Each structure stands twice: as C-alpha cells, then as structure tokens.
Structure 1
Amino acid sequence: MLVNVSYNNKEVTRKVDDLVGKPFPLKERWAMKGIGSPKLFITETSIEIRNLLLLDNNTNSCNVELRPKGIIVRFRSLLETFALVIPYYKLSIYKGDFAVYSIFKDHYFIKVKSDTKAIQNYFKKILDYKIENTPTSITDL
C-alpha cells in the first residue's frame, strides 16, 4: 500500500496499523537496539514511486521503520511524505550486485545502496525479525 502520510489522518493511520502493527513500545526499541534504518539512497524504483520522486530535484533517499508485522519505507517528494507499507508475508528483499538491496512488494520495488556496514546490519535485522514473526501456516494468522 502506497499512501501519503504527510497529514494526521486517522483513517490512514488505522489502515497502516492494521497492516503492519502499531509501533514498538520504547522498552522494546531499546532491547532491539533501534528500529529505524540509516539514511538509504535510492538507486531505482517502480514506475509509481519514480513518478513521485521525479516531481522535485532533491536527492532521492528513504528510510525504513521496523514494525511487529511488517516494515514501512518512507520517502519525501516535494513537501509530502509517502509510505510504502509492506507486511512481512508480502516482503521480499534481495541483495544484488554492486552493494544494492532491493525491497519488493507485489509490483512496487525500491533499490537502495548498501555501501556501509550499518545498512547491511539493518537489513540482516529485518530478515531475522521477519523469519521469527512470519506465520508458518494459515492457522497462525
């Protein structure tokens, strides 16, 4: 789900929370050593996201937030903030050539540079958390 999260809209917040869960409490954030990614520089995107990023001339960057049932990839275009909300069961992450990670959800994708060890460790944290918290059967939902 690609949504504009610039404004405090209770309906959008409810949909996001239903899909990926509410944010972690502060105690769990400390235990996990943080839930947010470093600044990620975007190298390539799907057409819908690219059309949004082309609206301004800023450097294309994003960040990722870890949630109990998924992740949220946030990026800015003009003065708006957009979020790509991805539950774990639809999340695919690939490490490509030339230090690039690809984040996929259905027909949306974002490719980001992974030129630092912190970024690589963060993606490892996402994959480990996904393995621990993805249901193994339909009855686990």
Structure 2
Amino acid sequence: MLLNVSYNDKKITKKVDDEVGKPFTLKERLKLGGIGSPKLFIKETSIEIQNLLILDNNRNSCNIEMRPKGIIVRFRSLLETYALVIPYYKLTIYKGDFAVYSIYRDHYFIKVQSDTKAIQKYFRKLLDYKADNAPTSIEDL
C-alpha cells in the first residue's frame, strides 16, 4: 500500500501498524544491530511511484525500515514523504545484475543500487529476519 505519511495522522499510523506491526523497541533495535537501511539510490520504479518522483528534480533516493511483520520503504517527492508498506508475506526481493536489488509488492516495485558492502549486508539481514519471522501458514496472519 502506497501512503502519504508526511503528516501525523492517526488513521494512517493505525493502517501502517496493522499491516507491518508497531516499531521495534530500543532493546530490540540494539539486538538486531539497527533496523534502518543506508541511503538507497533509486534506479527504476513502477509507474505509480515514478509519477510521484518526477515531480521534483532531486536525485531519487529512499530508505527501508524493518518492522516485526514487514518493511516500510520511504521516499520523498517535493515536500511530501511517501511510504510503500510491505508485509513480509507480500515482500519479494531479487538481486539482479549490475548491483541492483528489486523490491516488489503486488504491482509496485522499486529497484535500488547496491554498490556498497553496507547495503548488501543490510539486505542480507533483512532476508534473514524475513526467513525467521515470516508467517508459515495462512493461520499465522
């Protein structure tokens, strides 16, 4: 689900929390060694996201926040902040040629450059956490 999260709206916060869980506590963040990604530069996106990104002339970048039941990919366009909320059971990640990771949810996708070891290490941590904590059956949802 693609949402505008620029403003502190309780309805949107509840939607996000219902979809991917509440944020990790400080203790859990320390145990995981951090939950946020380094700055990721966007190479390509689905048409809905691209229509938002072309509104300004800045270099397109995003970051990822891990949550207990999914991830949030945040990016900015003009003065607004948008979030692509992806639960683990809908998350698909591909590592392509030329150091590019592709993040998919249904018909939305974002392809990001992975030219540093820190980015590759983050995606390894994300995939390991998903494998350990994703629901294994429909009853777990």
Report the TM-score when normalising by structure 1. 0.99
Q: Which portions of structure 1, spanning 4 or more consecutive aligned residues, are displaced by more than 4 angstroms?
A: none
1:45 matched residue in structure 2: 45
CA RMSD of aligned residues (A): 0.5
| Aligned mates of 1:32, 1:67 — CA distance in 2 | 11
| Aligned mates of 2:19, 2:140 — CA distance in 1 | 16
Report the TM-score when normalising by structure 2. 0.99
Q: CA deviation at 1:138?
A: 2.0
| Aligned mates of 1:139, 1:80 — CA distance in 2 | 37
Q: Does 1:69 align with 2:69?
A: yes
| Aligned mates of 1:139, 1:72 — CA distance in 2 | 23
Q: CA deviation at 1:134?
A: 1.0
1:14-53 alignment runs, 5 A limit: 14-53=14-53
1:107-118 alignment runs, 5 A limit: 107-118=107-118
Percent of residue pairs identical: 79
| Aligned mates of 1:69, 1:139 — CA distance in 2 | 14
2:136 matched residue in structure 1: 136
| Aligned mates of 1:42, 1:140 — CA distance in 2 | 33
Count of residue pairs brought into register by the alignment: 141
